[in-house]
Amino acid sequence: MTDKNIGFIGLGVMGQSMAGHILAAGYNVRVYNRTKQKADALVEKGAVWCDSVADLAAASDVIITIVGYPADVEEVFMGPSGILENAPSGALAIDMTTSDPALAQNLWQHGQQINIGVLDAPVSGGDLGSRNASLSIMVGGEPEDFERALPIFKIMGANIVHQGKAGCGQHTKMANQIAIAAGMIAVCESISYAKHAGLDPETVLESIGKGAAASWSLNNLGPKMIQGDDAPGFFIRHFVKDMGIALSAAKNMGMKTPGLDMAYTLYKQIEEQGDGLKGTQALFQLFK
Amino acid sequence: MTDKNIGFIGLGVMGQSMAGHILAAGYNVRVYNRTKQKADALVEKGAVWCDSVADLAAASDVIITIVGYPADVEEVFMGPSGILENAPSGALAIDMTTSDPALAQNLWQHGQQINIGVLDAPVSGGDLGSRNASLSIMVGGEPEDFERALPIFKIMGANIVHQGKAGCGQHTKMANQIAIAAGMIAVCESISYAKHAGLDPETVLESIGKGAAASWSLNNLGPKMIQGDDAPGFFIRHFVKDMGIALSAAKNMGMKTPGLDMAYTLYKQIEEQGDGLKGTQALFQLFK
């Protein structure tokens, strides 16, 4: 089957780049966003604005969502004017929001009953990855839906992996965020130690940034911590959201996650100080 | 000045490789080790066995040590038959053990009084790095001593950085170990989560091993955790030692290190179970 009509819901920083790539690849792209203004640049380039999710869904072969919270995903998919109610039979809906694995399974199940394919396909790589089309895309759902979506994923991402059945994309993203969580504490402590010991932390990174202590966080966020640059690559608010989902999923599976617990507590503290829109490297303020 | 006579004390797995490289580079190498037998292979290749630290020190321009614990370093340097008592005026002593930064400052100070240069120059890169001469060497001490040692460091390492005055090499190594410590918890939790969620953890690593969650630990020790391979690249016992030094130094500087505290507690628990000679990836057993 050839999908020509793509609906794209959620035009945040990442969504705008991702929808832009699909448009540039020659698809018919319909867009919807809560704040209409964020669609302006895309509409100027040829995207078609839709006044509702329902209108967009009805006219699309493939509907992609990347919105805020699991509650938003649920509303956009399951609400009375949502995707599953309005998309044509045979459509494919792909949620690229980082969201709840259990919800992803639910959406897939509902889709099954009405012949609408549903994939969960959260991403990592952030703003830069979405601009460069170098995202890592972690996909859960039916193999045939994955194959169908692959040409579109390839327009947005560089590392696209089918992780298993519905929910597995979200679970993989949770594993990603968990690997980052306590790791951020380690990075903060390491740089804080270097400063306390009177070392030049940039010179320390030259020694420790390539060996067994190396991490993306150390090498990319460490320098920002040292320079006091809190500008967001990834919002603390979003990381707190993701860790909350991970914690709840881990608890449901009977897992102990002391490192994740600690990271969540510390980040929550910063968010409650009003710094939720700073980048995740601002955790360093607790370790000065 | 040209250093021709090198004394090498401490012929563990790493010391043997390091002394071997120096020998192969054409230096006269004298060796000493508590267990004489570990010198056999080097002696066969032309190294000269010395029956005591004192004999070795007296005959060397440069003395290199890589022994076990700070107490061993202290004895080898400060004991009545130790390096500082027996090395000729103008000699240079380099401790490459991961040891206490305060002790390193002490040794340097004692050396100053008797015209013996002292550098602290711990390494990272492990067994493999010592075999390949690709160690990261983190150096504290006087700039002129660093310059003098550089030709010898270059025989053993690939990333050689002068981090500052005496003790700064050890402090940098502590920053390295701290960056690893809580990071190991993150890696264990991430892989455990993947397993609990029914994912294939190797496939998960394909998605998360290259982006913001990437770390040396995740990509090198993660697969070993998955395969249940506890063979030591780096002994838990040694990591516990290093974290103990780091904790004590951090406490002395008035720092809070909740992530390091947690890692130390968990690793100590494994060591006390009798698993101190397993690799650090065996932390995973607490997260199964």
What HEC string does A22-56 produce? HHHCCCEEEEECCCHHHHHHHHHCCCEECCCHHHH
Q: How far apart are CA B176 and CA A140, in angstroms?
A: 37
Give the number of other CB atoms < 10 A from CB of residue B58: 18
What are the tens digits of pLDDT across the range A47-98?
A: 999 999 999 999 999 999 999 999 999 999 999 999 999 999 999 999 999 9
Q: Is the dihedral of CA B153, B155, B157, B159 positive or negative?
A: positive
Q: How far apart are CA A182 and CA A5, in angstroms?
A: 42
Q: How far apart are CA B144 and CA B261, in angstroms?
A: 37
Contact state of B186 with A182 under an 8 Å Cβ cutoff: yes
Nearest to B140 by CA among B176, B96, B85: B96
Chain A residues with beta carbon closer than 8 angstroms to that of B216: 211-215
In percent, the amount of chain A with pLDDT more than 90 equals: 97
Among the partner-chain residues A186, A257, A258, the one whose CB lies closest to the CB of B179 is: A186
**Secondary structure element (H or E) that encloses residue B250, with its range:** helix B236-252
Q: Quote the pLDDT of residue A128.
A: 87
Q: How far apart are CA A199 and CA A212, in angstroms?
A: 20
Q: What three-state secondary structure class fits B238? A: helix
Q: Is A234 at the interface with chain B, CB within 8 A?
A: yes
Residues of chain A numbered 51-90 and touching chain B (CB < 8 Å):
none
pLDDT at A21 over 90: yes
Q: What three-state secondary structure class fits B3? A: coil
Please name every residue paired with B137 in a beta bridge, in sequence order, or none if there are none.
B123, B160
A93 within 8 A of A84, measured Cβ to Cβ: yes
Quote the mean pLDDT of chain A.
97
**Length of chain A in terms of residues written:** 288
Q: What is the mean pLDDT of the segment spanning A265-284?
A: 98
Helix intervals (H) in chain A? 13-24, 40-44, 53-58, 70-78, 83-86, 101-113, 126-131, 143-156, 168-196, 201-208, 216, 222-227, 236-252, 258-270
Q: What is the mean pLDDT of the segment spanning A267-284?
A: 98
Among the partner-chain residues A193, A216, A220, the one whose CB lies closest to the CB of B175 is: A193
| Backbone φ, ψ for residue B120 (5° rounding) | -100, 130
As to burial, measured by CB atoms within 10 angstroms (0-12 exposed, 13-18 middle, 19+ buried), residue A265 is exposed
Nearest to B1 by CA among B131, B92, B127: B92
Residue B95's Cα: distance from chain center in Å?
Answer: 10
Contact state of B213 with A253 under an 8 Å Cβ cutoff: no
Q: Is B185 at the interface with chain A, CB within 8 A?
A: yes
Contact state of B262 with A260 under an 8 Å Cβ cutoff: no
Sorted by sequence, the CB contacts under 8 Å of residue A203 that are 6+ apart come out as: B161, B163, B164
Q: How far apart are CA A203 and CA A220, in angstroms?
A: 15
Q: Is B171 at the interface with chain A, CB within 8 A?
A: yes
Q: Is the ipTM of this complex over 0.85?
A: yes
Top-confidence residue, A2 or A41: A41
Q: Quote the pLDDT of residue B85.
A: 97
Among the partner-chain residues B175, B193, B266, the one whose CB lies closest to the CB of A255 is: B193
Q: What is the mean pLDDT of each run of 10 residues along chain B (288 residues)?
A: 92 96 98 97 98 98 97 97 98 98 98 98 92 96 98 97 98 98 98 98 97 97 98 95 98 97 98 97 97
Contact state of B176 with A212 under an 8 Å Cβ cutoff: yes
B184 within 8 A of A178, measured Cβ to Cβ: no
Structure tokens at A2: 């050839």
Among the partner-chain residues B124, B183, B193, the one whose CB lies closest to the CB of A215 is: B183
Q: How far apart are CA B100 and CA B257, in angstroms?
A: 18
Contact state of A258 with B185 under an 8 Å Cβ cutoff: yes
Q: Quote the pLDDT of residue A199.
A: 98
Q: How far apart are CA B284 and CA B288, in angstroms?
A: 7
Nearest to B263 by CA among A258, A235, A23: A258
Q: What is the mean pLDDT of the segment spanning A20-34?
A: 98
User: Nearest C-alpha of chain A: how many angstroms from B64?
Assistant: 20
Q: What is the mean pLDDT of the segment spanning A251-264?
A: 97
User: Nearest C-alpha of chain A: how many angstroms from B285?
Assistant: 12
Contact state of A179 with B200 under an 8 Å Cβ cutoff: no
Chain B residues with beta carbon closer than 8 angstroms to that of A203: 161, 163-164
Q: How far apart are CA A191 and CA A204, in angstroms?
A: 8
Please name every residue paired with A5 in a beta bridge, in sequence order, or none if there are none.
A28
pLDDT at A1 over 60: no
Chain A residues with beta carbon closer than 8 angstroms to that of B175: 190-191, 193-194, 197, 199, 204, 208, 213
Q: Is B199 at the interface with chain A, CB within 8 A?
A: yes
Q: How far apart are CA A159 and CA B214, in angstroms?
A: 14
Q: What three-state secondary structure class fits B137? A: strand
Contact state of B185 with A259 under an 8 Å Cβ cutoff: yes
Chain B residues with beta carbon closer than 8 angstroms to that of A176: 190, 207-208, 211-213
Q: How far apart, in Å, are the Cα atoms of B10 and each of A7, B13, B30, B76?
A: 67, 9, 11, 10
Decide the pairing of beta strands B123-124 and B135-140: antiparallel
Q: Quote the pLDDT of residue B126.
A: 84
What are the tens digits of pLDDT across the range A142-195?
A: 999 999 999 999 999 999 999 999 999 999 999 999 999 999 999 999 999 999
Q: Quote the pLDDT of residue B128.
A: 87
Chain B: residue whose CA lies nearest to A184 = B183
B188 within 8 A of B284, measured Cβ to Cβ: yes
Q: Is A177 at the interface with chain B, CB within 8 A?
A: yes
What are the structural domains, with CATH classification, of chain B?
A: 5-166 (3.40.50.720), 171-287 (1.10.1040.10)
Structure tokens at A207: 């020694």
Give the number of other CB atoms < 10 A from CB of residue A168: 27
Positions of A marked active-site: 173
Positions of B marked active-site: 173
